[in-house]
Structure 1
């Protein structure tokens, strides 16, 4: 019986896709594994919620000790209300087989005010639906709820000293929106409860809803019948065109009609796949290679971001560089330099700058993969540390982009499957890969570094630092390998 209950999260899942709701309730083993990056998003939301409680101090926490004890939380919430407690965190309510937990519930002169905290920087339609469901449950459970607001992060906030929650957060009243949505909520609840009473999985095909408003965690199950290289992998093809093709029965790349209106690069991609062709524009590639200096530095940054700025002169979700790797050749020998910050709560940006300036020396092109990323990070550092503007700008001026030959399809192999990311290009050109590394992608590197400060065991920290250094080093070594392939054209 418990499986027929709905919560805020399962309601939103059902609004997105009734099949996903059913699978979540009855076939959860079919869900995709939660990645470390996804887990980090969940944990970030928890941290943001706890910080927002400081806007309403001296509250009492009504949250259950574990998820199975939610009915005790409903009872405890009622006890706190009857005792006259005016600020309650995670207040629990239950009505019509729907449960919800309000981040902050505050007794004001006019009545009770519910606050829902979001780690996002803007309010979305989904958040309004979320708040409307809470309004429905709380109001109908008998509480005199007069207002409901959404608290979200202000992305214009720049930390200066200690975090100021009053400046970090924006409070937006959405009561009228919630009232206007009540008929929608009631109708949708009837539908979703009906879905959960079915004996079989709803017959719903894949569609745009698989990624809107959130990436569905049953995509692996629902999309398993697609070919390994389908129309959905075609680079930069408009989503509407992709779904129009799918609805016409076009799934495989070689089924795409000639009148679809593909770009030149997309035509190259399709032609290479269908005819098993290697696209190698020798003149363009040689021109690119010849434009590079004799002395080349291969440079790569790693960054992390946090909803809550970790130190001064940082905005929410700002990309903070914490690591770099650089390879360069001297006297026919490949040299390597690197930097890795202490942890994510220590501001090591100035040390990063100083080491980078020293390591990049004064001459030679600096080769990066996706120049916009590294260039933007350096410009952000200049804004905070203007005393280093001249040497950092000199580094920017020396940068060249190794991604260009692949982005422009001067060098394209069918095995790249439309992607020009270094993770797709490298294995297509070389036997080198990231498969042997504990940390094998940038997202995992960011999450790992962001959590280093909570690890107290020094041996564990040493292993993590080693793994981070090995990953970033592999990125620049991959660039060396890729350029060597281009030089042989």
Structure 2
């Protein structure tokens, strides 16, 4: 191993998903689709939440650490131990280490013989629901409602904290054996049951990237968060809730530490047990070769089976064949039969998924597109004008204005391509707000003005319906008075379990009525569009599609890969997926881009946002145009 052998919290989580991945991780194998930690954490608000938590403990002392060597680990651990000998101390990110187990606590508070370990999480916590479960069902948000055991979406967080507590217990026993200290674990998280009283709270925090890199596993690694607001207001606001999780943690310490020891032994001994058998779970393996590093973890595990064309891992819902407990795919893999054509067709007997699976197998073998016999009638019934819409939204841990709760929906951009009549060119309309601290109502009003009450509204998936539903209820929550908008929202979106959405979901139509071999088992817009675009040259000749055509050395690019890049500052930037749009928006709102003096830079970022959202709706137009062409051919055949 290139570094000292230790097991961090993230290592343990990796090992539990696949122990072979732990091996690749420790050897520094390349990964694909790995989001930069800055953008990942910026997306969920963890930087600002962590900064608020630190502000609540102004006396806190930060423990600096570089964890590249045994010596640096030992020094950081010794500094932590030295501080723990003080009567009262607050430590930020102290280093906990015992027998190859390594962790950094977010906040450690020592008062006499009492130690609090406080885990900061940006994940929303509902204190009202938590208290109701305790009061009425003798449960909590951290427990499975059926079994009563620690489980569900919070379990991995509780395991993280249990790991820290277990290490600290061993560390104290080794280094301070004569001192009897009790450890109390807590969770500190934004409370969905509370509203902030601070208007424009996010504007008081600015995130800056630092050029220095430290191998420290710090939540602020390479980042500085500056606070310019009133500290007393932060104390009074109590947007974060501190929750005692002692009972839950105590249940998981022993199994968590035992599991850690197992994986540590595997690493030290290079045990064959470290290498898990290949299975259907390998489909999402991120350990693939990169341009800079040819090592490919997936290929090392699968050998020649990785190169089989029309792979069974590409089959729609392949893991459900044969049942969840004994999936047929795992049996096939052990028999080295990994082509989707090796699947016994009689095993495809779950009608919920089997129809699509059979279509995929048949038309992949034929290498042909497929449309159902019903699609022509569906296309014919769509009323003009046809509106293709796409939204860009953000859910931030930090509320945008006073009176809002954490993680409320904020809609900041929409694009619409409208085809007013058969054979007419699409007309594009768009809206973007980077100034209004809470733009939802203006967003919906401008959309209503664009769409009106005539024609058909097409989306891709159900996100747009969810956004319009949220805005409808936000109008009531914030007493926003616009009867026309309220009626329009109620008539357009499905608001609850009953009723019907008047939005037509093209993703659902694809799943039921369209297949292309290049899509494989997927139906996302970014899979369907390239499949249609690359194999139907007539689309490239349509004037309003031509700007998205590029061919290099015989390869036709996906329109998403030809979006113009802009030189902004010292970097080439492009926004070509939804997460990037959300991150660009957040950066413009309260990141490094917020206080730029150069309006041209903000204007360039706006253009990146515009061109991405614009393509999402044009992509739907391209697919719709092709469906119409296929239906016309079917009718005339």
Q: Does TM-score exceed 0.5, indicating one fold?
A: yes
Tell me what 2:122 maps to.
119
TM-score (norm 1): 0.86
Could you tell me how far 1:192 is from its partner in structure 2? Answer: 1.2
Q: Indicate yes or no: 2:391 matched with 1:390.
A: no
CA-to-partner distance for each residue in 1:455-486, whole Å, 9 max, x for gaps? Answer: 12533322221111001111111122222222
Q: 2:179 aligned with 1:146, yes or no?
A: no
- CA deviation map 1:404-434 (0-9, x unaligned): 43121x2222122122222122222224521
Q: CA deviation at 1:317?
A: 4.0
Residue number in structure 2 paired with 1:231: 312
**Partner residue of 2:451?**
360
Alignment match, 1:254: 341
The 1-side partners of 2:247 and 2:384 are apart by 65
Shift of 1:446: 1.7
Tell me which residue corresponds to 1:218.
287
Task: Verify the 8 A CA contact 2:410 2:439 in the aligned structure 1.
Answer: no
Secondary structure in 1 matching 2:278:
coil
Residue deviations 1:256-291 (CA, integer Å, cap 9, x gap): 112323421221122111233432234x22211221
Structure 1 equivalent of residue 471 of structure 2: 381
Alpha-carbon distance, 1:99 to partner: 2.7
Query: Does the Cα contact within 8 Å between 1:111 and 1:145 map onto a contact in 2?
Result: yes
SS in 2 for 1:466: helix
Structure 2 match to 1:265:
356
Over 3 Å counting, the alpha-carbon distance change for 1:459 and 1:18 in structure 2 is: same
Tell me if the contact between 2:60 and 2:90 (Cα under 8 Å) persists in the aligned partners: yes
1:50-449 pair list within 5 angstroms? 50-54=51-55, 56-64=56-64, 66-68=66-68, 70-108=73-111, 111-121=114-124, 123=142, 124-142=154-172, 144-151=180-187, 153=189, 156-162=192-198, 166-174=238-246, 177-178=249-250, 181-182=253-254, 185-186=257-258, 188-189=260-261, 191-198=263-270, 202-207=274-279, 217-218=286-287, 221-224=296-299, 225=306, 227=308, 229-239=310-320, 240=324, 241=327, 242-262=329-349, 263-282=354-373, 284-312=374-402, 314-330=404-420, 332-342=424-434, 346-370=437-461, 372-386=462-476, 387=481, 388-396=485-493, 398-408=502-512, 410-431=513-534, 433-437=559-563, 438-449=574-585
Instruction: Please list the CA deviations of residues 84-129 of structure 1 after superposition, one character each: whole Å capped at 9, or x if unmatched.
Output: 3332221223322333221111224652121222333465333333
* Secondary structure at the counterpart of residue 116 of structure 1: strand
Alignment match, 2:130: none
Cα drift, residue 254 of structure 1: 0.8
Distance 1:363 1:11, change over 3 A: closer
Measured against aligned partners, the alpha-carbon deviations of 1:283-306 in whole angstroms (never above 9, x if no partner) come to x22211221222122211111222
Q: Relative to structure 2, which stretch is displaced further, 178-187 or 302-311?
A: 178-187
Distance in 1 (alpha carbons) for counterparts of 2:318 and 2:297 = 21
Query: Secondary structure, in 3 states, of the residue corresponding to 2:396?
Result: coil
The answer (yes or no) to whether the contact 1:148–1:175 under 8 Å persists in 2 is no
Displacement, 1:378? 0.5
Please identify, of 190-199 and 100-109, the stretch whose mean Cα deviation from structure 2 is larger: 190-199
Q: How many residues align?
A: 479
1:25 maps to 26
Deviation at 1:368, TM superposition (A): 1.7
Q: Mean alpha-carbon deviation: is it higher for 263-272 or for 246-255?
A: 246-255
The alignment partner of 1:250 has SS state of coil
Where structure 2 has 5 or more consecutive residues not aligned to the other structure, the ranges are 125-140, 143-153, 202-233, 290-295, 300-305, 494-500, 535-547, 549-558, 564-573, 632-637
| Separation of aligned partners in 1, 2:281 and 2:315 | 19
Q: CA deviation at 1:217?
A: 4.1
CA-based RMSD of the aligned residues comes to 3.2
In structure 1, the residue matched to 2:40 is: 41
User: In the alignment, is the contact (CA less than 8 A) between 1:52 and 1:169 conserved in 2?
Assistant: no
Distance of 2:318 and 2:465 partners within structure 1: 27
Distance 2:467 2:108 in 1: 40
Distance 1:278 1:34, change over 3 A: closer
Structure 1: how far apart are the matches of 2:248 and 2:35? Answer: 37
Distance 1:83 1:171, change over 3 A: same
Q: Contact 1:439–1:445 (CA<8 Å) still a contact in 2?
A: yes
Query: Which residue pairs with 2:208 in the alignment?
Result: none
Looking at structure 2, the residues matched to 402 and 133 of structure 1 have their Cα atoms a distance apart, in angstroms, of: 45
Q: Could you tell which deviates more after superposition, 80-89 or 412-421? A: 80-89
Which region of structure 1 is more displaced relative to structure 2, 261-270 or 307-316?
A: 307-316
Indicate conservation of the 8 Å contact 1:64/1:72, yes or no.
Answer: no
Distance in 2, matches of 1:113 and 1:303, equals 37
Listed as ranges, the gaps of 5+ residues in structure 1 are: none
In 2 relative to 1, CA 252–379 (structure 1 residues): closer, same or farther, beyond 3 Å?
same
Q: TM-score, normalised by structure 2?
A: 0.67
Distance in 2 separating the partners of 1:308 and 1:228: 47
Q: Shift of residue 381 of structure 1?
A: 0.3
For residues 575 and 188 of structure 2, the distance between their equivalents in structure 1, rounded to whole angstroms, comes to: 32
Could you tell me which of 466, 478, 482 is aligned with 2:619? Answer: 478
- In the TM superposition, residue 200 of structure 1 has moved relative to its aligned partner by 9.3
Compute the displacement of 1:154 (Å). 5.9
Out of 478-487 and 121-130, give the one that drifted further: 121-130
Q: Secondary structure at the match of 1:259?
A: helix
| TM-fit CA distance, 1:399 | 2.7
CA gap of 1:72–1:309, structure 2 versus 1, over 3 A, is: farther
